[in-house]
């Protein structure tokens, strides 16, 4: 099982438990098949919800505190949200470690369209592995980035149910929805 | 059935979780890292931000629970006061207006449920702040009306306008359509409040002054520490044009704007104190 | 086309309206005042209950129905001056003390665990009685002299039938056990018994039947 290190070890602004986060992320990594050591950097001062893979060596997940937070109990950890973030990012890690996937740019250079397309592909696989991502929420994200159209909805469904895609496939989806948006605009 | 309910009396099913006001104010995290929902914000809500879809979802849920409270507030005004001309009474026509508002707010709840579903949000997914209903609890009917129909419904104008713009920019036809319809109703509600405030206090300038002071306090509270204001980075901008349509004078809008700035400074100071305390 | 100057009957052959009606101006005003009083108490209670019911769908329906009954009370309020009652408040009264007691009893439930009692009172007792009284009025008033009341009655009855159906469906969806079925029946019986004493929402003769003592006298 992957060794998971959570930073900070002790939280001051929120009521998070580093050990609990490490256990949840480690368990997700084992189910997804990522056996590299993982560092989880949590920005506890931020209630925003952004989470990215910021390094592959060592594997580092940088997470704003809001992404792990329980929206019903501000400043408290929501295990479900930790699993949701971990499964999404660790599928990205698995894709990046797979030479046949291709060579995607670093997370911070992804466009919003690329990022949501990859998320749909990751979370669809996560759902089939037994995680519980909120598909309607992800569809709304996808529509915001790829257009409120039948073309975008069909693309989302394809990504969600797909396995074995490559980075080129994701780019093709982005190009397809971009063409749809241009046609409308 | 007793008259004059407290916030704690509001009935909800098991999906809803209430967020006490002090939990918001005691959050030591910097203001720029959070919105009214506690999720994402501190900056203007625009679709190009990475967290914008989730920010819009959280805000929409806040609107939904706000509509429930507005419905409850209007309903209680139908019940809590006798019909008559006394200081503690309300005119029959005012009750009819409040009943009409009940129907409008019930419709807004229905719209919000459908819209939330469209945005991928579950009912009760986010905590419910009850500060809106607190303005609807005032035992003086004039103050209650001012708090609800001018301050609360005024905030609704600002929020619906912001969400409608967000829907337009994001190309979300459902969001834009729904917000525009709700915005139309809110302008009517604010006008109703302005009209009744004038009529009920025509012969009592002192009472009118008290009502306006109460509105100012509520407006400041609803500014959410800078959440709503005229600063470039305010997540929700004051909707000047629609407020004018609803009967607010420029001086009144300026005053709300200044109150928002003050609320922002005070909230930041409170947070700094909380952060210092958390750091030991 | 027919000659426009040719005399025609004032009442076309298909227009069967007649002058006679069961109510004079005074009796009509009394009934309308009773109706207004009941509609007012009802919309106030529905508005007050919105905050006390936890069921979201019920909460929203009560908010909608609150306005409908407020509008009914406004229709009756506006009708009163047309019936020679220049001070509408004077006739905005319960038909008798039992009607007052009935409305007190209907609005008594408060707790969030008493949605069933709230709904049964309104949708299984009051609204059926309103439909009965309004229908009797509609079918017995002069179709010529009292046309404005007839128009209001038709508009209101349309709302009442819709709300009755809404309410009955909410009640059926809330009853899940035999014990709850009994709760609903007990509540209905308790309120019905008060209305028997009242003689209906407009007092004895609400639906034309004389009060029992009148029959035996």
Confidence (pLDDT) at B268: 77
DSSP label of A110 = -
Q: Which of A46, A71, A135 sits opposite B33 (nearest CB)?
A: A46
* Nearest chain B CA: its distance from C52 CA (Å): 5
Kindly determine whether residue A65 and residue B29, on different chains, have CB atoms separated by under 8 Å: yes
Sign of the alpha-carbon torsion through B236, B241, B242, B244: positive
Residues A156 and A115 in one domain: yes
Domain limits, chain B: 31-264
pTM score over 0.90: yes
* Interface list for C 115-174 with B (CB within 8 A): none
pLDDT at C57 over 50: yes
Rounded Cα gap, residues B201 and C89, in angstroms: 23
C-beta of residue A62 within 8 angstroms of C-beta of residue A43: yes
Q: Which of C50, C53, C77 sits opposite B102 (nearest CB)?
A: C50
Confidence (pLDDT) at B28: 85
Domain limits, chain C: 25-202
pLDDT at C108 over 80: yes
Kindly determine whether residue B50 and residue A143, on different chains, have CB atoms separated by under 8 Å: no
Q: What are phi and psi of A138, to 5 degrees?
A: -70, -35
Residues A86 and A108 in one domain: no
Q: What are phi and psi of A54, to 5 degrees?
A: -105, -10
Q: Which domain holds residue A67?
A: 4-97
Task: Print burial letters for B240-274: b (CB count within 10 Å at least 16), e (below 16).
Answer: bebbebbbbeeebbebbbebbeebbeebeebbeeb
User: How many domains does chain A contain in total?
Assistant: 2
The class level of CATH for C25-202 reads: mainly alpha
A172 touches chain B (CB under 8 A): no
Find the mean pLDDT for residues A132-161.
Answer: 97
C-beta of residue B217 within 8 angstroms of C-beta of residue B249: no
Mark which of A61, A80, A97 sits at the end of a domain: A97
Kindly determine whether residue C66 and residue B78, on different chains, have CB atoms separated by under 8 Å: yes
pLDDT tens digit at each of 280 positions of chain B: 999 999 999 999 999 999 887 777 778 887 655 543 434 444 678 888 989 999 999 999 999 999 999 999 999 999 999 999 888 899 999 999 999 999 999 999 999 999 999 999 999 999 998 878 887 788 899 999 998 898 888 988 999 999 999 999 999 999 999 999 999 999 999 999 999 999 999 999 999 999 888 888 888 877 777 778 887 778 888 888 888 888 888 988 888 888 888 888 887 787 777 777 766 6
Query: Angle CA(C13)–CA(C17)–CA(C22) in degrees, nearest 5?
Result: 160
Instruction: Please count the CA atoms within 13 angstroms of the CA of A166 that sit on its side-chain side.
Output: 7
A140 touches chain B (CB under 8 A): yes
Rounded Cα gap, residues C132 and C195, in angstroms: 13
* Nearest chain B CA: its distance from A66 CA (Å): 6
CATH number at residue A18: 3.30.2010.10
B204: its two tokens: 């009592």
Residues A17 and A88 in one domain: yes
The closest alpha carbon to B197, from B252, B242, B240, belongs to: B252
Q: Which of C48, C61, C109 sits opposite B75 (nearest CB)?
A: C48
Query: Which CATH superfamily is B31-264 part of?
Result: Ferritin, core subunit, four-helix bundle (1.20.1260.10)
Rounded Cα gap, residues B79 and B89, in angstroms: 11
C-beta of residue C66 within 8 angstroms of C-beta of residue C43: yes
Rounded Cα gap, residues A70 and B53, in angstroms: 17
B223 touches chain A (CB under 8 A): no
Alpha helices in A10-134 (DSSP H): 18-32, 79-97, 112-128
Residues A110 and A84 in one domain: no
B117 touches chain A (CB under 8 A): yes
C-beta of residue B40 within 8 angstroms of C-beta of residue B58: yes
- ipTM score assigned to the predicted complex: 0.93
Q: What is the pLDDT of residues A61-105, one digit of tens each?
A: 999 999 999 999 999 999 999 999 999 999 999 999 999 999 999
C-beta of residue A9 within 8 angstroms of C-beta of residue A18: yes
Rounded Cα gap, residues A110 and A99, in angstroms: 19
């Amino acid at each position: 099982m992957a060794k998971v290190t959570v930073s900070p070890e002790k939280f001051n602004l929120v009521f998070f438990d580093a050990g609990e986060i490490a256990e949840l992320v480690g368990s997700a990594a084992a189910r997804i098949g990522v056996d590299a050591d993982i560092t989880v950097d949590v920005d506890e001062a931020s209630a925003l919800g952004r989470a990215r893979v910021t390094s592959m060596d060592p594997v580092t997940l940088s997470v704003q505190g809001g992404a792990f937070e329980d929206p019903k109990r501000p400043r408290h950890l929501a295990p479900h949200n930790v699993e949701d973030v971990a499964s999404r990012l660790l599928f990205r890690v698995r894709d990046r470690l797979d030479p046949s996937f291709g060579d995607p740019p670093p997370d911070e250079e992804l466009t919003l369209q690329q990022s949501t397309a990859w998320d749909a592909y990751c979370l669809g696989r996560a759902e089939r592995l037994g995680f519980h991502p909120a598909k309607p929420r992800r569809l709304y994200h996808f529509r915001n980035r790829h257009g409120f159209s039948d073309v975008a909805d069909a693309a989302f469904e394809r990504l969600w149910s797909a396995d074995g895609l490559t980075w080129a496939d994701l780019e093709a989806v982005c190009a397809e929805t971009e063409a749809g948006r241009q046609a409308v605009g | 059935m007793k008259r004059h309910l407290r916030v704690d009396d509001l009935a909800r099913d098991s999906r809803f979780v209430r967020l006490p006001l002090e939990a918001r104010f005691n959050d030591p995290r910097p203001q720029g890292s959070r919105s009214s929902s506690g999720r994402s914000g501190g900056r203007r809500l625009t679709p190009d931000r990475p967290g914008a879809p989730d920010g819009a979802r959280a805000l929409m849920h806040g609107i939904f629970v706000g509509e429930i409270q507005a419905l409850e507030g209007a309903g209680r005004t139908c019940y809590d006061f006798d019909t008559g001309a006394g200081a503690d009474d309300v005119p029959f026509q005012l009750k009819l207006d409040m009943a009409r508002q009940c129907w409008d707010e019930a419709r807004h709840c229905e719209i919000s449920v459908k819209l939330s579903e469209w945005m991928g949000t579950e009912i009760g997914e986010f905590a419910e702040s009850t500060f809106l209903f607190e303005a609807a609890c005032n035992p003086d009917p004039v103050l209650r009306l001012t708090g609800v129909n001018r301050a609360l419904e005024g905030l609704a104008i600002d929020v619906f306008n912001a969400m409608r713009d967000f829907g337009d920019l994001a190309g979300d036809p459902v969001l834009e359509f729904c917000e525009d319809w709700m915005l139309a109703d809110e302008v009517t509600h604010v006008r109703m409040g302005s009209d009744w405030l004038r009529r009920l206090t025509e012969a009592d300038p002192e009472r009118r002054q008290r009502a306006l002071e109460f509105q100012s306090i509520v407006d400041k509270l609803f500014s959410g520490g800078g959440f709503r204001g005229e600063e470039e980075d305010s997540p929700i901008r004051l909707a000047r044009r629609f407020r004018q349509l609803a009967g607010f004078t420029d001086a009144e809008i300026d005053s709300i704007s200044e109150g928002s700035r003050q609320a922002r400074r005070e909230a930041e100071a409170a947070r700094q104190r909380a952060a210092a305390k958390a750091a030991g | 086309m027919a000659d426009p100057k040719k005399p025609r009957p004032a009442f076309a052959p298909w227009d069967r309206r007649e002058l006679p009606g069961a109510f004079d101006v005074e009796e009509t005003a009394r009934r309308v005042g009773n109706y207004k009083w009941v509609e007012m108490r009802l919309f106030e209670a529905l508005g007050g209950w919105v905050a006390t019911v936890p069921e979201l769908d019920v909460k929203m329906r009560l908010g909608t129905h609150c306005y409908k009954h407020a509008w009914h009370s406004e229709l009756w309020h506006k009708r009163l001056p047309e019936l020679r009652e220049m001070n509408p408040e004077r006739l905005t009264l319960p038909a008798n003390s039992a009607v007052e007691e009935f409305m007190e009893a209907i609005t008594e439930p408060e707790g969030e665990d008493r949605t069933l009692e709230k709904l049964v009172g309104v949708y299984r007792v009051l609204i059926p009685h309103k439909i009965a009284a309004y229908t009797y009025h509609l079918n017995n008033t002069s179709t010529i002299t009292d046309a404005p009341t007839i128009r209001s009655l038709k508009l209101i009855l349309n709302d009442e039938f819709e709300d009755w159906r809404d309410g009955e469906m909410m009640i059926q969806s809330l009853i899940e056990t035999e014990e709850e079925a009994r709760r609903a029946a007990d509540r209905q019986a308790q309120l019905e018994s008060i209305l028997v004493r009242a003689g209906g929402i407009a007092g004895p003769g609400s639906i034309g039947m004389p009060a029992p003592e009148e029959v035996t006298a």
